[in-house]
Each structure stands twice: as C-alpha cells, then as structure tokens.
Structure 1
C-alpha cells in the first residue's frame, strides 16, 4: 500500500457517463496499480433523468450502475488501499451512501463511506431569487421573469469537499453534482496537501481531470483518426499520474486496447469547452497554457498549465419540464421527394387542426437519397416531424394516429420508421450563476457528523499568457480535399450551445488552420450556424482552434429536436467538407493503420 505523498498519485477513471462499460471498474482495479478509482456519471441531461426516476421512487435519484461495479471491486480496493471517489450520488448522495453501506454489510467488509451535500439549491430557490437574478447565461433573462417552475437546481461543487472527506478518513466518497474534473483535483490536492491558492497545481489537475473524465475518449474512443487506434473494439480506460507540481502523465494499463497519444489527449482537451479561461469552482484553468508531449508509448505528459484564482461565482444547473412532445418520421422514396414531403405535411396537419394548434412544430427533411440509387435504402429520404405543447393530449396519440392514418391514402411508397408513440415529457436546461457564498457545502461522515467546506480564497489573476511565435501559413499550389484528411476535430454540447474544436498535427498546419478557419468560414462550412453567433478561440500550444456555436441546440439536449441533439457528430461533419488545402500540408496525412501498428 502506497503512502500519501508518494509521487505520482495514480488516479484511474472507470466511467464517462451513466451507462458506460460495466466491466471498466474491475478492469481498472485488476489491470495494474492505482491509488484512486473515480467514475463520472453525471451530465446536464443525466440530472433530468435522475429527477424522473425520483418521481417514481423517492429513494432513487442516483446512478445505480455504480453499485453493480462497486460489488465487483470493493474487497480488492479495501485490501489494496484504493480509495473510491464518484459523483454517482446524483440527486440523492445520502441514499447512494446508504446503499453502499448495505453492500459493505452484505459482503462482510468494513469501509468508511462519506458523502457530500450542498449542491441542491431547489429548496432555497424562492429566498435565493430575492437576492440573485439567476439569469440565463446565454439569453440574460432573469429566472423570476421566465414563468417556469424548476424541478432541479444544482450548483457545481468543487474539489475541497472531497479533500475534507478524505482527510476525515473516507474510503469511499459519494459526491453529488461536483464538476467532472473535481474527481481528480480532490484526490490530488489531498494526496499532496495542496493549499486552496495553489492555483497552478490545481489548474494542472483540472486539465488532467478534464482529459480522463470521459473515459475511453482519452484512449482513442471517438477519435477522428480512429484508423490509427489498435484494439478499439475494447479500449482501456485512462489513468492520470499526477505529480506534486500539478503536471501529469495520461496513460492506461499495459496490454489494453486503445491509444494514448498527443492527438487523443488533444481531442479530449477540446471536448465541450468554450473560452481559453476554463472556469472551475476552485480555479480558472488557462487552456491556452497547456502543453503536451509524448512521453513514451501510451504516455502523454501534460505540463505548463497556469491557473488563476477561483471565480466569485459557480454555475447552477436548473432544469424544468418544458412540456410534451412527439415525433414521427416518414420515409420518402424515389422520385419527387419534395412534393411527397409537402403532401405528407399538408395531409398530416389538415387532420389535427393545422400547425397553429401546437406551441412548436419542427420539420426536417433529411435528404439521404441518391440519383439512380443502387439500392432501395439509398433511394430514401427522411421527413421528421416533431410537435411540442404543454397539453399532452395534443401531442400524444392524436398526433401519431393522424400520421398513421395516412398510410394507405397518401404519397406512394408510404411507411414510417417506427410504430406510433405516445407523448413524452421533455426538460429544458437553464444555466445560471450564483455567488459561491450562497453554496453551503458540507461533508457528512459515516457517523453522521457534518464538516463545513470552506470556499477558496480570493486572489489576483496571473500575468498575461505569452502566445508562441507565429508560424507563417504555407502557400503554393492547393488541392480540393476534405478538411478532415489533415485535421482532427471533436465536438459536443454545452447546454443550448455546441462546441467544435479542430486541431492540426504540425505547426505549419496550425498556422494555415488559424488563418483559414475563421468564424465566417465556419458559417460557410456549417450552414446551420449562419444565423447564429459564433465565437472562436485560438489555442496555439495545442495547435487548435475552438468554436462555440451559440443556440445551435436550442434549449438544451433534452429539448433539442436535432437528429444529433448533443452535437457529437458536428466535428465529423465539418471534417467532411471539401476545402482548398495547400498541397504541402498533405504531408500531415497519417499513415495507414497497418504501417502504424506494424
């Protein structure tokens, strides 16, 4: 058993979302030496899912899959001194902690189980609104003017509650809505005894936490150049070896599938970020200072990260029930696709009172058909119709039955992709900020005591970051090729916004990318972004450009009517667009997988 303070502290991840690979916890514990096992189960959408679970069972509200994983590894973790830190507590960390203790009793094991509270602001919301506007971070509208009834309001907590629990002797720390990176920052800060104003160390740990929080995305999962990744059928999960100075090495257990490279780590650093100043409750991490270098096979060193004092506010994830919705997807085949779509729409709405009968109607004609199609499927397009209303009767069977009644009386070749369905309640995400002083975080020990968690201190911002000397963009003959032949990308959701980060493999490639891929150019390549606000951030150390497309996802993932409501495929769409590329940059094209793995 290693002693606290020995460097590096080895922090392993076994979950990137609620529903991730169940065997990952066992694989991380049995695959090699680690000091901490962490798991991230929460997202903005997950909190709404857990709220729905609590409506059926008031004792629910946590990620039950964690309990199944825990049973497989608990004995080994206690034997080896591996501590467990997870945010699987969700909306009910006390309930999760109780279930963990029941598992310990059933297995005849003794473990100190503690949980954290203080993120749930819903009971205090009326009094809080007397002092704070809780304005929507994107629209600026104050919550009290919105006329909505929130069902959940959870502040993002930081790492110091985890530190306090570990200091009190916890073997297992059950967290509610802490930030994803806090699952790494807390163990590292406790292990080394960092102070609350060790800004650069804390920022380095935030970078490491952001890299491993999504599990196998750091080891080759969802990677743009996936052909380079061996064993992608079953990639290993990531480990952050965090040093005392906050730098880290990202790796995985030997012999596992996947790849840890500067590319895979860069991709994950770009996932779901906005500005270069990445705000966490404990520190502001300057993503424009992060440096990466390959440190051996499946080892990437992350260093140079600068931190600034923690922000005076923390984010609050507010969810409310927006109403009900229903969808039907008509398949249109062969000739006259647009005319068939028009007929289907006119006929559908004529039978249910017109479009104006619903609060919202979304129609998408997805042209997947081809001329002279070589197969029946490639002759088909999809017409997806979604209706929303606060009255469930309007969008329930009355809507779906009206669609099905057209089956023998409408366009030729009529069929739909699924049987008629009932209405489904959907949630809306409302991001807001609240002063840190309004958050009363405590650790609840295994004997029922509460330990208050102090807020980070105030401080001054770091000196301006010096940008690397610019490299001249290559000139000369060009070729028309897909952007993704040379450049990687990763995209995701940030509430109602989408981010897409694009990175280069060489300094020359980055110089061209930074010059070429402007906000206006992105709007040209992604037509859906043309009417929306687009912001761009340059990250020279990562050879990357990050964009945020504001409002692309509407009111958030749970309410979005997009085919891809989390913008997971947006980066791959951008990479598929054909551009005029300097021929010299074709040298950055990766070699085929066969030679890479030879």
Structure 2
C-alpha cells in the first residue's frame, strides 16, 4: 500500500495543512496542487514583472517550516508549485539549507514555441504533462519533486508508478490511480468541504485533508487522518469525482479513464473504497493551457432602493452611456432584482445594477469609466449610491485550450545531481471519442410533488475553460432512475434560463448514481474573463438544486412536511 496525502487544492489554500498532514498521522507521499487556469495567468504576470518569480510562494513558506519535519518522517513531497518558473522554485528550496534532494520536472512550457505550434502569441502556453516524469524523479531518489503544469491527478499517479513499478501498458492501474488523484487533488472538497449536504457533517469546522491509500492494482481507499474534522463518505467522494469533468472518458496524458466503470463503497468510518476502474490508451495529443491578457476591465455596481427599480435602472444606464468618452469596446449590464415589496430592512428593499466594461485601452476602461460614474452621483435617480467607489481598470485574462502531439513537449527530469533524464511519450495512443453514458431511463407513472431538486440531489459545479460543469448525484438506487430521466438538455435550459441559447451536453454515470452536465460557453473566455456574476460557476450547482421540480412522492424523505 502507498499512502498519498494532499495539503493544497489551490494557490491560497490552508497554510497550516502541510504541517497538519505531516503530524496528524502516517504518510508516504504528500502532494500539493497549486495551479489553475487563473493561477497560471497570475503567475505569468508575476514573472513578466520579475523574472525571479512565477511560482507559488506559499509552498516555499510551507517548506521553510516543514521540510525538515518531512525528511525526519520519511515523507516525500510532490507539488506543481513551480507554476511558470519551476527552476526558480528549485533554486529557492535549495537555499533553505536542508539536505533534501530536489528534482525538477520540466518541458511543459511551450511559450517560446507557441507561434510555431499554431498556439498564437499567448503570455503563457503550458502543456499538461503526465505522471512518468514525477515517477522517475522519485525512483531517482528525490525527496521533493517540483513541477510546472502537469495534470492534477499526475501528482498522485506519479508516486504510484514509482512505488508499484507500473508501465505505460498498465492502463487499468493508471486509471484507478487517476480517479484517486482526481478525488484528493482539491483538498478538503473530498472530506466535506463545499459539500451539498453539509448540514449532515458532524464536524464541519475544519475538515482534514484527504489521503488515498493506493494498492498495486490501482484500487484505493480514500480516507483522512484520525481525529481530524470533516468526513469521508460515498457522498463526499462522489461530489469531488464529478467535479470539473467533461464526459465518461476522462482524458489524460498517460491514460483515458472510464468514469462509467468507477465503483464506490463505504468501507468503514471515513473510508471509501474505489474499485473497478478501467483505463484506455491516452489520446495522441496533449492539452495546452494558453493564457493571454485580453485587455482592461472595470466594474461598477449601484444600488436601486425602493420604488420604480426598472425606471431607475433605465435612467442610470441612459445617463452613463451618454457621458462623453464612455464607449468601451464591450459593455455588459445586469440587473439583480433582490428587492422585496414593503421590506422590513433597506437591504431587502434594494436591487443591484452592475455595469462591466472591457477595452484594449486602459484609459477608456479606467479613467473615463470612473469619471462618468462619479459625475452622476448627484444627478441621477433618487437614492443613488454604489457598493464601492469607482476604481481604476484592471487587466483581464483570456484562456484558450490548444493541443499538440504528445511528442512535442521535451518532457525531462533534472535530478538533484544535475543529471537530465528524458521521458518518452506513450507508444500506444487512441483518438478520444466522447462517451455520454447512454440515454435517460424511462420512469414509471405515479404521484409527484413539486419540491427543490436538492431535496434528493447533491451537486458540485465548476469551470473547464469557458465551459461550466454541474455534477449531480443521488444517494439511493431507487432515486437514480428519476434523476437520470429528469436531467435532459431541455430541463437544464428551463431550470437555468441563461443556458437557453448555449450547447448543453449530458452524461449519465449510473455506477455512481450521477449525471454530469456541461454548458458550453457559459463562462465566456474563461474564469479570468469574468463573464458572469459567478465567474467560476462554483454556485451554479446550488442554484440548480434550489429550482423546483416534480419528485415522485415515494422518494420524498418527509412526505408530511412537503
């Protein structure tokens, strides 16, 4: 068995988690995931200002406190905290003065070759590398492995490859470890954090971070250190399993994992067993994260209180658009009718009107935008005020996904002694074909009652570039036919009206009683573009759960109350 823990799900996660994971129980490997599409843009801009930066500085803070402890306990550390400048992080770790052997996995950075690879001229172009470089770094003796952009699951799969001596053709084992890695990659989201049924968690105050106990065949048990907060249940694991996925084929550089083969079982308190996962040969191409500064963005939200909300909003909009110099390349207006009639508090009597401007020129999106807002302060609708004072424009990012053949990145390991070892791409690949998991399940007739979807269904949602995903699941076999038949493209468009004109894809995963929904283009050009109120679609699933649908009376938990 190999025990792989996680201490970070994003750049900014709980700083104390590394020490907690090292002191609260036994581990063999400790991983940290610090990268996301937005983070790559932030780190790219950091490096553009200062060539010595571009990595996750919080990881270095954690190592300064915990690296000697990890060495004492024999725990090896694997993290993608190198960001867009992994060599600089390796140099900084060596300056800590510990005897740790540090290896670098490199080759993801394709920025200098972006034009020749038809990737345009992005600020950064980084390929998602696989796990075999991490594995070779560990078998080469590294105590700390630093990577740039690798797949999130690779942080777990790499140590498993090294420990169990898997090869490229051990597809089922690689797929099983990929599922385990996907479950623990986002930290406490696997142990009760951000969980739809959070009121059922006995100790939600400070969830412990997750651990995957991996076996030689790729099966695993997801758990956490004894005595830590949160919970590990089939529900918490399912919630993370359906987070930010596309369809039943979960593509990676080393293996395409069949999510429709996953089996989950509660194997004891805070222990969930994952078995049965099948793998297929990986696709011939690697995904490339391309980030670009798209221009400048500014936003203002004004409050409309009391009567005549629509008329007040129309007046302010006409005045703002008529102001000299306020003609940004793109302007978006949104009115949130949060007000109620005869409200007992001023907040309950108020609606919010937001205007977002984007323009290539910082002055147009900045000074001219703010000047127009300020000058209207005493000449607009009654009760005028804004939630924050007008401010300067900020650069915004655009994310696009590119693809290159697996052989394009120069995937290499730089061992602690300076030796460079190339990592060969997989010899066998298979073109990726979408797998939606079959049609809906016909549901027999019977009495129904209208109630929130979340009465029975959990959800977790997130971003995949410009797309949003919503993973829905139920906790009983009897409820799954209802969920599978309910969730269709038409239903999603009715329940979430802003999806009406967008492509919607549905994947059914009966093995884990789940349905995955992908809404294409909902997030515009990605999270850094801020296309909507919830730019990462984190709350989209909870909105869907709050919508009322027809539920068979036989499935309702408290029929008298409902």
The TM-score, its normalising length taken from structure 2, stands at 0.97
Structure 2: distance between partners of 1:467 and 1:387: 41
62-71 vs 466-475, which moves further: 466-475
Question: CA contact under 8 A between 1:54 and 1:61: conserved in structure 2?
Answer: yes
Cα deviation digits, residues 194-243 of structure 1 (max 9, x gap): 11110000000000000000000000001000001122110000000011
Give SS of 1:127's match: coil
From 126, 129, 133, the equivalent of 1:157 is: 129
- Spell out the pairing of 1:436-451 with structure 2 (5 A cutoff): 436-451=406-421
- 1:596 maps to which residue? none
From 229, 238, 242, the equivalent of 1:257 is: 229
Please state if 1:581 is matched with 2:543.
no
Structure 1: distance between partners of 2:527 and 2:497: 20
User: Residues 472 and 126 (structure 1 numbering): CA distance in 2 closer, same or farther, change over 3 Å?
Assistant: closer
Structure 2: distance between partners of 1:206 and 1:43: 18
Question: CA contact under 8 A between 2:114 and 2:122: conserved in structure 1?
Answer: no
User: Residues 588 and 158 (structure 1 numbering): CA distance in 2 closer, same or farther, change over 3 Å?
Assistant: farther
Please state if 1:374 is matched with 2:348.
no
Structure 2: distance between partners of 1:184 and 1:116: 15
Question: CA contact under 8 A between 1:115 and 1:444: conserved in structure 2?
Answer: yes
Please state if 1:92 is matched with 2:64.
no
Please state if 1:508 is matched with 2:485.
no
Please state if 1:271 is matched with 2:243.
yes
Please state if 1:552 is matched with 2:528.
no
Deviation at 1:55, TM superposition (A): 2.3
- 2:154 maps to which residue? 182
Question: CA contact under 8 A between 2:467 and 2:519: conserved in structure 1?
Answer: yes
Q: What RMSD over aligned residues (CA atoms) do the two structures have, in Å?
A: 2.0
Give SS of 2:169's match: coil
User: Residues 276 and 170 (structure 1 numbering): CA distance in 2 closer, same or farther, change over 3 Å?
Assistant: same
Please state if 1:80 is matched with 2:73.
yes
From 40, 43, 46, the equivalent of 1:47 is: 40
Structure 2: unaligned runs, 5 residues or longer = none
- 2:511 maps to which residue? 541
Structure 2: distance between partners of 1:374 and 1:579: 30
From 250, 270, 273, the equivalent of 1:301 is: 273
- 2:109 maps to which residue? 120
- 2:395 maps to which residue? 425
- Spell out the pairing of 1:101-116 with structure 2 (5 A cutoff): 101-103=94-96, 105=97, 109-116=98-105
From 33, 54, 60, the equivalent of 1:61 is: 54
Structure 2: distance between partners of 1:274 and 1:560: 21
Structure 1: distance between partners of 2:368 and 2:457: 48
Structure 1: distance between partners of 2:498 and 2:187: 30
- 1:359 maps to which residue? 329
Please state if 1:21 is matched with 2:21.
no
From 530, 533, 546, the equivalent of 1:563 is: 533
- 2:322 maps to which residue? 350
- 1:285 maps to which residue? 257
User: Residues 335 and 461 (structure 1 numbering): CA distance in 2 closer, same or farther, change over 3 Å?
Assistant: closer
Deviation at 1:285, TM superposition (A): 0.2
Deviation at 1:576, TM superposition (A): 0.3
Cα deviation digits, residues 560-583 of structure 1 (max 9, x gap): 231110000000000000111111
- 1:311 maps to which residue? 283
Structure 2: distance between partners of 1:535 and 1:193: 38
Structure 2: distance between partners of 1:127 and 1:259: 49
Question: CA contact under 8 A between 2:436 and 2:507: conserved in structure 1?
Answer: no
Number of corresponding residues: 560
Please state if 1:196 is matched with 2:168.
yes
Question: CA contact under 8 A between 2:249 and 2:435: conserved in structure 1?
Answer: no
Deviation at 1:408, TM superposition (A): 1.2
Please state if 1:517 is matched with 2:510.
no
The TM-score, its normalising length taken from structure 1, stands at 0.91
Structure 1: unaligned runs, 5 residues or longer = 1-7, 135-142, 144-148, 592-598
- 1:332 maps to which residue? 304
Deviation at 1:358, TM superposition (A): 1.7
Please state if 1:494 is matched with 2:464.
yes
Structure 1: distance between partners of 2:442 and 2:555: 13
Structure 1: distance between partners of 2:16 and 2:262: 32
Deviation at 1:465, TM superposition (A): 10
- 2:292 maps to which residue? 320
Structure 2: distance between partners of 1:587 and 1:412: 48
Structure 1: distance between partners of 2:429 and 2:494: 42
Deviation at 1:466, TM superposition (A): 13
From 30, 41, 55, the equivalent of 1:37 is: 30
Deviation at 1:422, TM superposition (A): 0.3
Give SS of 1:52's match: helix
- 1:236 maps to which residue? 208
Which runs of at least 4 in structure 1 moved beyond 6 Å after TM superposition?
Answer: 464-472
Question: CA contact under 8 A between 2:450 and 2:550: conserved in structure 1?
Answer: yes
Deviation at 1:454, TM superposition (A): 1.1
Cα deviation digits, residues 420-457 of structure 1 (max 9, x gap): 10011111001011101111111112222211011122
- 1:594 maps to which residue? none
Structure 2: distance between partners of 1:470 and 1:568: 26
Deviation at 1:498, TM superposition (A): 0.2
Deviation at 1:88, TM superposition (A): 0.2
Deviation at 1:493, TM superposition (A): 0.3
Structure 2: distance between partners of 1:381 and 1:466: 40
User: Residues 176 and 14 (structure 1 numbering): CA distance in 2 closer, same or farther, change over 3 Å?
Assistant: same
Structure 1: distance between partners of 2:64 and 2:430: 46
